[in-house]
Structure 1
Amino acid sequence: MGLNEAPLLFDFEVASSENFTYIPMSVRFNLDRFGLRITLAQWQQLPLEDRKLLARFPVEEDTQIEPNFDHALFEMLRTHANIEPEWFTPEESPAWRQTDSVPDGVAHQAGLAGLAAPSVARWAELDPFKRYVLAKLSRKPEANHDFVPAMKEFGAAG
């Protein structure tokens, strides 16, 4: 599977990414998938075209589908910032992969927003990448400004 024709951005991200000033969820997914960590400052050191290119990589769980995200990121950071990303061990069984229960963080964020959490059945129906996004947006205890727009866009708001 090759690169997507255009950067993968959800509607709720178009404004919040501020023309790739912030790291889009598709890039965050691939960073987490490959066990790579970069700072916002490092992201912003990359030329806009490189940031857009990184957002075109597929968001599939199978690392064999598109193994070049990590290589591309390393080259871009070396070339433009003379740095390398940090490595970490990806979580083996993250909550977003579970389809038999809604993660506590997602339920908590929904509560903060005055929304009903998605039902277990609705959670299980969501595309894995959308479950990842909702879990990522709900990892902190305070309200996330992108959570409600994401829930609505994904049809997960009750």
Structure 2
Amino acid sequence: MNTTSEIFQFEKDFAGALYCIPMAVRRKLDLSGVKVSLKQWNHFALDEREQMVAQNCETSSEIDDYGRYVVAVIEKRTHQPAQLLERDDGSEWNDTQSVPQRVVDYSIECEVAPPTAAQWARLTPLQRFAIFKLTRPGHSNENFVPAMREFKLIQ
């Protein structure tokens, strides 16, 4: 499996059987600008979920194809129109030059050392996305510290 389709250890309990939306899919959804609720996700067939994990979503055409695929699955399975969002270009989490301030602040709040710029730069885009996503305001983000450990950012 390539690193853009990886299911991390910290999410195996809930995403390994694809009952919940794994970070790999969340990243692709953000890139393609399609919102999928957990309720919608649970209407999808297992092979459709697996396709959403495995399908490439890196180039402009792959991102467009991914978005079209997800919209079609939503409409087929829920009989409702898909909700489209502004596409996330990844500028905050994809910048390898500096750790986003939100990650630094959340690390301090969790009483763990924030990633250094060198550590952040070594992470894969999916790992950076996961860490960034796990610092969302208003969410419990209980997997932030396990993700930091898994990615060897803390011990």
How would you bin the TM-score normalised by the shorter chain? 0.7 to 0.9
Pair 1:51 & 2:46 matched:
no
Runs of 4+ in structure 1 deviating by more than 4 angstroms, as ranges, are: none
> How far apart in 2 are the matches of 1:47 and 1:127?
29
The structure carrying a bigger helix percent of its residues is 2
- The residue type equivalent to 1:49 in the other structure is D
Instruction: Quote the offset at 1:111 in angstroms.
Output: 2.0
1:106 matched residue in structure 2: 103
1:88 matched residue in structure 2: 85
Deviations 1:83-132 (A, max 9, x none): 23211222446311222321122122322332100011111121122111
Higher mean C-alpha deviation, range 29-38 or range 142-151:
142-151
RMSD: 2.3
Contact 1:23 1:40 in 2 (8 A): yes
SS in 1 for 2:99: coil
> How far apart in 2 are the matches of 1:77 and 1:136?
23
Instruction: Quote the offset at 1:18 in angstroms.
Output: 6.0
1:147 matched residue in structure 2: 144
* TM-score (norm. length: structure 2): 0.85
Instruction: Quote the offset at 1:16 in angstroms.
Output: 2.9
2:60 matched residue in structure 1: 63
Contact 1:36 1:87 in 2 (8 A): yes
Identity rate, percent: 28
| Change in CA separation of 1:16 and 1:93 when aligned onto 2, cut-off 3 Å | closer
> How far apart in 1 are the matches of 2:63 and 2:140?
33
> How far apart in 1 are the matches of 2:91 and 2:120?
14
2:29 matched residue in structure 1: 31
Q: Which runs of 5+ in 2 are unaligned?
A: none
Q: Which runs of 5+ in 1 are unaligned?
A: none
